[in-house]
A and B are shown apart, each in its own frame.
Chain A
Amino acid sequence: MLSISRYSSVVEFEHLVQSVVKWDFRFWQKAFGMAAIYSLYIINKSGGLIYYKDYGSAGRMDTNDTLRVASLWHSMHAISQQLSPVSGCSGIELLQADTFDLHCFQSLTGTKFFAVCEPGTQQIESLLKYVYELYTDYVLKNPFYEIEMPIRCELFDMNLTQSVQKDRVALLGQ
């Protein structure tokens, strides 16, 4: 069952009801201490993949597939803005499926950060905002980085690894 939610205030109530119903299942899942992020994508404003990092042991994809997924998500995100019954929609923020959640954060410049994680993982929104901060620091201030090109910055990788490890430790420790 696939449900695209959280893009309109009308649907929010329905989502609230849904999440209360799902809470039981997710509560037990969290109780076993497993809440992890599977992969992280960054796409530029034209939809090209500029960064991909995968953390899970399941669902490893090769480069071509990751590029396809990225451009697919970019198109879906754009279409959802048109489809919304309420004007001023900024696109999909959360996609919930049986086996994964996909959280998306779009910056003011159109760069999208999205993470595929285990259902019910908390605080992915703040993680995505933190990744955005790392991006502005270690990628945009790097004179050797060309805008909209794939990210190959050592400092960005280092800091990202440190922060995801920290998050994981914090999540597993709960």
Chain B
Amino acid sequence: GGGHKQNYRWVDFVRKQGEDGKSLEERVEKILYDPVRSARLALVASGRQKRYIIATQNVKEGDVVSTSTEIPPVVVSIKEGNAHPLGALPVGAMIHHVEKFPGEGGKYCLAAGASAQLVKKKTDTCIIRLPSKQEVELDRHCIAVIGQVSNSDHQDKHIGSAWRLRWLGFRPRSGLKSRKCGYDGKKIKSSRPAKLVTRIEPEPKVYKMTLDS
């Protein structure tokens, strides 16, 4: 517990198309630090609207970033920062900020340097491999952003002192120097089949009522 006080920045996780029906083009005005997450934020403006989104690696100030929700018959060309549905992307593309259900906002791969890979495309669904090597089957209309999440050197940085860990809100840890006994360590398992992501609606409860005259 503890740590330095942090102010929350309202980030928009939903990438929508423009109201005309055409793709929405936005210009990156600033890349900002966010104390709440490891990734960086991008201040993005279009028309009379400004908002914060998760920044992509290699996207600089002045770049124009677009989103579209259409799936054309031909696969789309790759440009970092652009958002497209999974059905429009080529197999093998590096993506992040992937939605679980279409229109609900990005859920997968939001941490610094994270990226998923598009593995297979079927008629209605697409399979992606997450950073934990787990495979997940999603609707092909779910939107994903091309590229890697910003701040990819986050893991390589050395914290340096115990004070800095406390500023980040981590209490002292113990048990790190205990010896390993052979039961620890990552075990190599065979890959499981891809998990289909669906929403199970609960069955409506049925109450039986009787009338006694």
Instruction: Please determine whether chains A and B interact with each other in the same assembly.
Output: no
